[in-house]
Structure formats: structure tokens, C-alpha cells
Amino acid sequence: MTNTPPSETCFVPDASQSRAFRDALGCFATGVTIVTTQTEHGPMGFTANSFTALSMDPPLVLWSPAKSSQRFAHYADAKHYAIHVLADDQSDLIQRFIRGGLGFEGMSYHRNAEGVPLIPNTLARFECEQNATHEGGDHLIVVGRVLRCAMRDGAPLVFTKGQYGGFTAN
């Protein structure tokens, strides 16, 4: 007798099952964000889907940059940053902020009071001050206290099973 339904695959997420583990995580749809900060080399952006709300009082959010990222040190040390939630028609921004992308080059943006570059017209934006960091395996868990937020009407860009798309409510 087994407790696993016949249509389900059960496995231990060890090194030999890393692809299957990644695929299982991909079943959870997430929004897509770009996290921006100001560095000594200029404005920087980072595409991330590891964003979530943490607390309403105080207002806290978290995200988790990969330690293997070339931009990791800039975000681990950033005192201020902004998390921009992308709308379903903003997938072009993803390519700007992945490794080798144009970033802010040739793009219109403004800065907040802390000097953080802000991308205009995203679905939502959370302007944060770093509150805490915690080790999280091959990622760093970064907790931010939200200083200001903004939002507009629209549908979110969604990432699931390795693909980007929109969300349609029933």
C-alpha cells in the first residue's frame, strides 16, 4: 500500500534530483520583480521572483538574491533599494535587467529621496530600507522595511514552469 497517488511523483530533493526539485518549485506561480539600487558604479537592477510580503506592522517584505549572482554583493550591502512588481505588458524589462542586459542604459528613470533609481509605471513599487539579512543556503534572505509604496491598475506578470505570462481571474 502506498500513500502517493498514481499520478504523482515523490522524491527526495537531493543533488541527484535537482532538476526535478526545480520543476516542482516551478509549479508555484510567482510575480516578477526588478529590484533596483544605487551603487558606486551607477544605478543597478536585478530581476527576481523571490519576493513576498512578510509583515503588515511594521511593513516588511523580503526577497532573496542568489549568492552566485555577479550583482550579489551590491544587494547584500544595499541600505536602500526598490522592488518593482511588473505588469503583464512589461516583460521587455526582464531582458534589460538579466546578466548582460542593458540595465538603465538609455532608459528613463528617476530617483527617490534615498537616491535609489525608480522605474516608472510598474504595477507596484516598494521603496525599502534594509532591515535584516539571513542566510538561506545558496541565497541571502533580505528583509526590507517599506518606507513608501506605489501602485496602479493592471494585471501582474506571472512566472511559472519556466515561462512568463499573464493572469486571468475567473
pTM for the predicted model, two decimal places? 0.89
Residue numbers of the domain that contains 48? 15-161
Q: What is the pLDDT of residue 137?
A: 94
- 5-28: burial string, b at 16+ Cβ within 10 Å, e else: eeeeeeeeeeeeeeeeeeeeeeee
Q: Is the confidence at residue 4, as pLDDT, over 70? A: no
Q: Is the confidence at residue 2, as pLDDT, over 70? A: no
CB atoms within 10 A of CB 36: 28
Q: Residue 19: inside a domain, yes or no?
A: yes
Q: Residue 33: inside a domain, yes or no?
A: yes
Q: Residue 54: inside a domain, yes or no?
A: yes
Burial degree of 157 (CB within 10 A; 0-12, 13-18, 19+)? buried
Q: Residue 63: inside a domain, yes or no?
A: yes
Q: Residue 88: inside a domain, yes or no?
A: yes
Q: Residue 170: inside a domain, yes or no?
A: no
CB atoms within 10 A of CB 29: 13
Maximal CA-CA distance, the chain: 62
Q: Is the confidence at residue 154, as pLDDT, over 90? A: yes
Alpha carbon distance 127, 157 (integer Å): 20
Q: Residue 166: inside a domain, yes or no?
A: no
Q: How many domains does the chain have?
A: 1
More confident residue, 118 or 170: 118
Q: Which of 156, 141, 34 is nearest to 98 (CA)?
A: 34
| pLDDT tens digits, one per residue of 86-124 | 999 999 999 999 888 899 999 999 999 999 999 999 999
Q: Residue 82: inside a domain, yes or no?
A: yes
Find the CATH number of the domain harbouring 50.
Answer: 2.30.110.10
